[in-house]
Amino acid sequence: QADINRYKEILHALADLYCQGYDLAWRQLYGEEKPNRLHLPGYPFAKESYWSSDSGSPFVSMGCERENFVLHPLLHQNTSDFSEQRFSSRFTGEEFFLKDHVVKGQRILPGVAYLEMARAAVQQAAGRSGQENVGIQMKHVVWARPMMAGEEAVQVHIGLFPDENGEIAYEIYSHLDESLEETVVHSQGTIILRPACEVQSLPIEQIRNQCSREMLSSSQCYEQLRKMGLEYGPGHQGIETLYIGDNQVLAKLQLPAFLLDTQDQFILHPSIMDSALQASMGLMIGSGSLKPALPFALQELEILEACTLSMWAAVRYSPGSKGEDKVQKLDIELCNEQGTVCVRMKGFSARILEGKIDSESKEKLGMLLYQPGWKEKRIDSAVPVSPISQHVVILCEPDQAIEDSIAMNMNGARCITLQTKGESIAVRFQGYADEIFEEIQAILKEKTNSKALIQIVIFSKEQVPFSGLSGLLKTAHLENTKLIGQIIEVELKDNAQTIREKLLENSHQPFDSHIRYQDGKRWVAEWKEIKTTQDTVKIPWKDQRVYLITGGSGGLGLIFARDIARQARSATLILTGRSALTQGMQTKWQDIEALGARVEYRQVDVTDQQAVNRLVESIQEEFGGLHGILHCAGVIRDNFILKKTQEEMQEVLSPKVLGLVNLDQATKDIKLDFFILFSSIAGSLGNAGQADYAAANAFMDAYAEYRNDLAAQQQRQGKMLSMNWPLWQDGGMGVDEATEEMMMRSMGMIGLQTANGIQALYQSTGIGKNQVMIMEGKVDQLRMLLEQDHSKENDKHSSVNAVAGDKIINQDLYQNLFNEIAAGTLSEEEFSTLMKM
Ligand SMILES: NC(=O)c1ccc[n+]([C@@H]2O[C@H](COP(=O)([O-])OP(=O)(O)OC[C@H]3O[C@@H](n4cnc5c(N)ncnc54)[C@H](OP(=O)(O)O)[C@@H]3O)[C@@H](O)[C@H]2O)c1
């Protein structure tokens, strides 16, 4: 018996080891006599239901159609396929977060619902349990367009796009029509799953004492919000009391009683979260500007704990932002009763709703014209100083004494002097661009993420064209945010000591990319919208005049040649290019000749000074004068800085830099009616892959200011205008359908229509500015992108992103574009077409 027991014990132990995966030598157990295998009955699958019964459904109060089958109240089904990790939801409009969230008469999905939707989607996809939300971070959230509930149920999808760094980009979108062809993106952002941060607390009592200026009850708050057109139903009336202080507010929040059973369904409960955003109204009361607004962007959100039934929301301006700003940035912290921070939002901004809310299809399309301007801006000592590991100061043709003193006394900075004597400004610019390009390339090749600051100092008005080097700096920053660039124009009266002080103070304001000191004041470049009227339209073309169009056989050259022929009788048009004249080219302008214009083609390379001189002389001799120039010659050689060669760069710079100066020199004594430069948005904003093209166009922009100054001193005649064109629908560097669709989706921009481009030129010549930037698309969205003042940002990413007003659009555009690439919705071809901007 003892043996049998021992045998069974060993057998059990062996069985256990076998189950654990050990490979056992069974032969030793049985010896020579092998036992037979036995078939045992299979396991019967018990058909038992584990669904909760109807009566206890947690989603009954949600008003969802599919209440028993949804993954989450905001995330109904997993509809992923091989092309996309996707979740879809169908909202009837009766859910509390829609029914009780009415803005200007429309039921709108609250911005906070997208945050919870994205969080829940990532939680599902990552196979996390509800308790594992701690440590979720969201960044670069943009609410592009509101989603409205109409009479019929609306379907919304969320796509997740993980990248190799572990970040998950998301896009929340719906389809405009049944064919599913047109997509409307409502919100997008990025989620990072990371270890939980340390728990932090806020001194609630202390903050409440600081917020003693005014106290509003719940009903007072919602009455105030109602007057602003924001109708919150019971499900979104979470503010119990609002305490208002100077530049900060504190709100006591309470989940409405009828939603208590929904608390466990959400981590970022829409009712509580939305009430926290509503609390920011307290700041508006303080600043006296009460206007309805919808969420627009959020730099960062951290989830430390789930929202609780009763919470505190502390709202204040983000560092550097203030009540008077056009776009205010807020930091909002949600704490539980004990003051422990559960959710932290940084850099939240909202867009003011001026008219009634429009759905995507009805959004107003139009054209916007912007001009560069200067805004007086003192050094903002509130901006936190971010550490810079490399500081390079580049002096443009300084006096020897200033050079020596700055080089010796700029502690920690490397000084480079740009000094080429006796050459034309174009040759010097192209040479300097080469030097700086090499410098930038070397910095970008260093495999560190620490920041580098390049400051280029310009000393006099004559050096203004050198500010075109900003095109290199802006592009470098777009290609790698670790590089920050500044153009600093100092005053003639400045000595080495004051210049050093200016360099130092600006190194603490890296958000300002172009600074000008004038009349003892500090000015920062910004974009100002031009309000045009019919009165400002001026057709520059006149009858029987002689016009030179460089690059005239290209797309835009021919568009304008045709327009001149239409508007002016018997015009003579001299088109130039490097190519020899062909039959094919001639057929392209037959219709122009048919309109009554005389078209002549000259094979001239604008970079050849002698050839340009000969061309100008011969035009005057042959046609009796020259009255206007459209400088359209240009080439692109797109490549990121790390890959770009100096040969490519010189090729791109030459027609716009050398070519322009050659033309200007050759015509300096001629009484021109106009001299129009075909520049690009890339010149004003930089463009990834186009450092050379951006610098070439920025040189032309700056040259227009320089030459108009000469004209004011009677050294030139006629106005020079630099047009920063966007991509045109037609024309040589035009846009295809797929790119246009992508431009619209990601930035609300469309290819410039020919008629509008011509109109824009008429308006720009009419107002007589040096430089005009043009964009066509959804005006509200474009305005928002361009006018949002990012100069106050201080977070790690955005502080280096947003260097000045003119940079803003780029950052947002690029963020969108890169999201598109990550999402696979933007092909490399589309991206390179966009780079041609
Ligand atoms: N189309 C757009 O969407 C757009 C947008 C923004 C800015 N722009 C700017 O507008 C201008 C015209 O654009 P586009 O679309 O008409 O371009 P395009 O069709 O490529 O025409 C450019 C023309 O420039 C000529 N060219 C290049 N280098 C030259 C040189 N060294 N000397 C003389 N001619 C030269 C080329 O002819 P050869 O090869 O025969 O020399 C070509 O015909 C460009 O400068 C571009 O930067 C265009």
Nearest residue (by CA) to ligand 1, atom 5, is 727
Determine the atom of ligand 1 nearest the C-alpha atom of 606. 32
Cα 692 to ligand 1 centroid, rounded to whole Å = 15
Residue 568 has pLDDT above 90, yes or no: yes
List, for residues 510-566, the tens digit of each pLDDT value: 879 999 999 999 999 998 999 877 677 889 999 999 999 999 999 999 999 999 999
Mutate to test the pocket of ligand 1, among 556, 588, 656, 690 (most ligand atoms within 8 A of CB): 556
Strand locations in 519-673 (E): 521-529, 546-550, 572-577, 598-603, 628-631
Give the pLDDT of residue 796.
32
Residue 179 has pLDDT above 70, yes or no: no
CB of 728 shorter than 6 A to ligand 1: yes
Give the pLDDT of residue 196.
67
d(CA 552, CA 575): 4
Q: Which two tokens stand for residue 430?
A: 């192209």
Cα 578 to ligand 1 centroid, rounded to whole Å = 11
CB of 579 shorter than 6 A to ligand 1: yes
Nearest residue (by CA) to ligand 1, atom 23, is 551
pLDDT grade for 422, boundaries at 50, 70 and 90: confident
CB of 213 shorter than 6 A to ligand 1: no
Cα 600 to ligand 1 centroid, rounded to whole Å = 18
Mean residue pLDDT across the chain:
85
CB of 578 shorter than 6 A to ligand 1: yes
- Torsion sign across C-alpha atoms 80, 84, 85, 86: negative
Determine the atom of ligand 1 nearest the C-alpha atom of 579. 40
Cα–Cα nearest to 836, from 736, 756, 758: 736
Nearest residue (by CA) to ligand 1, atom 21, is 554
Count of other CB atoms within 10 angstroms of residue 361: 9
d(CA 797, CA 799): 6
d(CA 390, CA 412): 8
CB of 73 shorter than 6 A to ligand 1: no
Determine the atom of ligand 1 nearest the C-alpha atom of 636. 47
List, for residues 125-165, the tens digit of each pLDDT value: 888 765 555 578 999 888 888 888 877 888 999 999 888 77
Q: Which helix (H) or strand (E) holds 558?
A: helix 555-567
List, for residues 200-235, the tens digit of each pLDDT value: 899 999 999 999 988 999 999 998 888 877 889 999
Cα 554 to ligand 1 centroid, rounded to whole Å = 6
d(CA 435, CA 446): 17
List, for residues 618-639, the tens digit of each pLDDT value: 999 999 999 999 999 999 998 8
CB of 732 shorter than 6 A to ligand 1: yes
CB of 709 shorter than 6 A to ligand 1: no
**Helix, strand counts (H, E) of the chain:** 26, 31
Q: Which helix (H) or strand (E) holds 664?
A: helix 658-666
Cα 530 to ligand 1 centroid, rounded to whole Å = 27
Domains of the chain from N-terminus onward: 1-33 (no CATH), 60-193 (3.10.129.10), 204-354 (3.10.129.120), 371-528 (3.40.50.720), 534-740+749-778 (3.40.50.720)
Give the pLDDT of residue 120.
94
Which amino acid, one-letter code, is at 244? I
Nearest residue (by CA) to ligand 1, atom 45, is 634
Determine the atom of ligand 1 nearest the C-alpha atom of 678. 10
Give the pLDDT mean for 281-310: 82
CB of 90 shorter than 6 A to ligand 1: no
d(CA 29, CA 9): 13
d(CA 70, CA 84): 20
CB of 757 shorter than 6 A to ligand 1: no
Cα 615 to ligand 1 centroid, rounded to whole Å = 19
Among 94-103, 648-657, 777-786, the range scoring the smallest mean pLDDT is 777-786
d(CA 708, CA 705): 5
Cα 209 to ligand 1 centroid, rounded to whole Å = 65
What helix, strand, coil percent values describe the chain, rounded to 5?
A: 40, 25, 35
Among 383-397, 714-728, 754-768, the range scoring the smallest mean pLDDT is 383-397
Contact present, 305 and 327 (Cβ < 8 Å): no
8-state DSSP, 753: P
Cα 654 to ligand 1 centroid, rounded to whole Å = 12
Which positions are catalytic?
101, 274
CB of 797 shorter than 6 A to ligand 1: no
Residue 713 has pLDDT above 80, yes or no: yes
Give the pLDDT mean for 722-741: 75
CB of 680 shorter than 6 A to ligand 1: yes
